[in-house]
Amino acid sequence: MALVNTKKMFEMAYKNGYAIGAFNVNNMEITQGIIEAVAEEKAPLILQVSKGGREYASLSYLRAIIDVVVEENPDIPIAINLDHGDTFETCKQFVDAGFTSVMIDASSKPFEENIEITKQVVEYAHPRDVVVEAELGQLGGIEEEVVGVDDVDTHVADPEQVQEFVEKSGCDSLAIACGTSHGAYKFKTAPTLAFDVIEEIQKRLPGFPLVMHGSSSVLKEFVDLINKYGGQMPNAMGVPEEMVSRASKMGMCKVNIDTDLRLALTSKIRQVFAEIPSEFDPRKYLGPGREAIKEMVKHKLHVVGCAGKAAECR
């Protein structure tokens, strides 16, 4: 089937208590690992392109890879999303490039300015059948150029502000600050998510899809492999998967995963280089990395609950 936007996905996810996995793509191997997992698990899929991804591989290359994915998997509903678009002009470029979803992240702006910028994107995107994700509040950590706050527990979303923002901006989904954080070093102490805030927002905006950024769990098996084979990642900590699963049943209809993809790929490359120092064939170290991504994504699809849901999201 052709590319879809996320309307039907989120409708079914909210109704049936699961989330759609949204995975960032930066090259062919990462994308192949993701789609192989999704195809085997018969799950809906959101592929995302960030500013860093565009700078590394260029939009034209990434879009071509995604087009192959769509063509070769006609039974899988696939949406493509601009991740953390920082200006109206950037979002417009991606709408015009055929993306089915764009995220405008004006969360660093004052509240009213964030609303106005988001509304401007909405007014351009909606007539072209493109949905708009926005962001309100401040997450923690660092992801590429997105720098968050240090103390995520004191920067959770205000439900009253969320309601006003959605009603005035017209956005289709909203990334909220609920205690998550970007990157591999998300927390200094044991993480807690603001489930009470999520519940209150759900009461005020029934049926409205929320988005959880910074949702990688920084899986120990990959961190241990990286450290075993020369890496230096002490104290790496992510969002516990049981918290991700719980949030996925509470109207958190989209769960972003990027760091775990990077860790899976890097851990296997390091392992190959350490165990076979003479190896110089990229296929021999990128291949195991791709396989690790595939198995990790298959696992994540069950964590967020969207495995087996492709048919109902079409």
CATH number of the domain to which 109 belongs: 3.20.20.70
Annotated catalytic, 150? Answer: no
Task: Kindly state whether residue 1 falls inside one of the protein's structural domains.
Answer: no
- pLDDT averaged over every residue in the chain: 91
Task: Kindly state whether residue 270 falls inside one of the protein's structural domains.
Answer: yes
Q: Residue 141 pLDDT more than 70?
A: no
Q: Does the pTM exceed 0.75?
A: yes
Q: What is the pLDDT of residue 269?
A: 98
- Higher-pLDDT residue of 137, 281: 281
Q: What is the pLDDT of residue 217?
A: 87
Q: What is the pLDDT of residue 284?
A: 98
- Residue with token string 């968050």: 148
Which distant-in-sequence residues (6+ apart) come within 8 Å of 297 by Cβ? 21, 23, 33, 34, 37, 38, 257, 261
Bridge-based pairing of strands 146-147 and 140-143 is antiparallel
Q: Residue 227 pLDDT more than 90?
A: yes
DSSP annotation string for 198-211: HHHHHHHSTTPPEE
Q: What is the pLDDT of residue 147?
A: 44
pLDDT tens readout for residues 109-122: 999 999 999 999 99
Catalytic residue among 67, 75, 83, 258: 83
Task: Kindly state whether residue 181 falls inside one of the protein's structural domains.
Answer: yes
Q: What is the pLDDT of residue 146?
A: 47
Count other C-beta atoms under 10 Å from residue 167's C-beta. 12
3-state secondary structure of 310: helix
Which distant-in-sequence residues (6+ apart) come within 8 Å of 32 by Cβ? 290, 294
Task: Kindly state whether residue 300 falls inside one of the protein's structural domains.
Answer: yes
Q: What is the pLDDT of residue 188?
A: 62
Task: Kindly state whether residue 305 falls inside one of the protein's structural domains.
Answer: yes
Count other C-beta atoms under 10 Å from residue 74's C-beta. 9
- Residue with token string 């990229």: 282
Measured distance CA(177)–CA(158) in Å, rounded: 9
Measured distance CA(234)–CA(133) in Å, rounded: 34
Q: What is the pLDDT of residue 149?
A: 43
Q: What is the pLDDT of residue 85?
A: 96
Cα R_g (the chain), whole angstroms: 18
Residue 36: phi, psi to the nearest 5?
-60, -40
Q: What is the pLDDT of residue 100?
A: 98
Q: Residue 288 pLDDT more than 80?
A: yes
Q: Residue 53 pLDDT more than 70?
A: yes
Q: Residue 309 pLDDT more than 80?
A: yes
Q: What is the pLDDT of residue 143?
A: 45
Query: Do the Cβ atoms of 129 and 171 come closer than 8 Å?
Result: no
Candidates 165, 184, 60; CA nearest to 122 is 165
Candidates 24, 103, 101; CA nearest to 65 is 24
CA 228 to chain centre: 28
Measured distance CA(281)–CA(184) in Å, rounded: 28
Structural domain total, the chain: 1
pLDDT tens readout for residues 162-217: 999 999 999 999 999 887 765 555 556 667 788 999 999 999 999 999 999 988 88
Give the structural domain span for 243.
7-313
Q: What is the pLDDT of residue 27?
A: 96
pLDDT tens readout for residues 22-36: 999 999 999 999 999
Measured distance CA(62)–CA(307) in Å, rounded: 25
What single-letter amino acid sits at 99?
F
142 — pLDDT class (breaks 50, 70, 90): very low
Q: Looking at 147-151, 242-246, 305-309, which range is the least confident one?
A: 147-151
Could you give the percent of the chain with pLDDT greater than 90? 82
Task: Kindly state whether residue 274 falls inside one of the protein's structural domains.
Answer: yes
Task: Kindly state whether residue 254 falls inside one of the protein's structural domains.
Answer: yes
Task: Kindly state whether residue 147 falls inside one of the protein's structural domains.
Answer: yes
Distances from the Cα of 233 to the Cαs of 227, 292, 296, in angstroms? 6, 19, 19
Q: What is the pLDDT of residue 50?
A: 93
- Higher-pLDDT residue of 215, 153: 215
Query: Do the Cβ atoms of 83 and 8 come closer than 8 Å?
Result: no
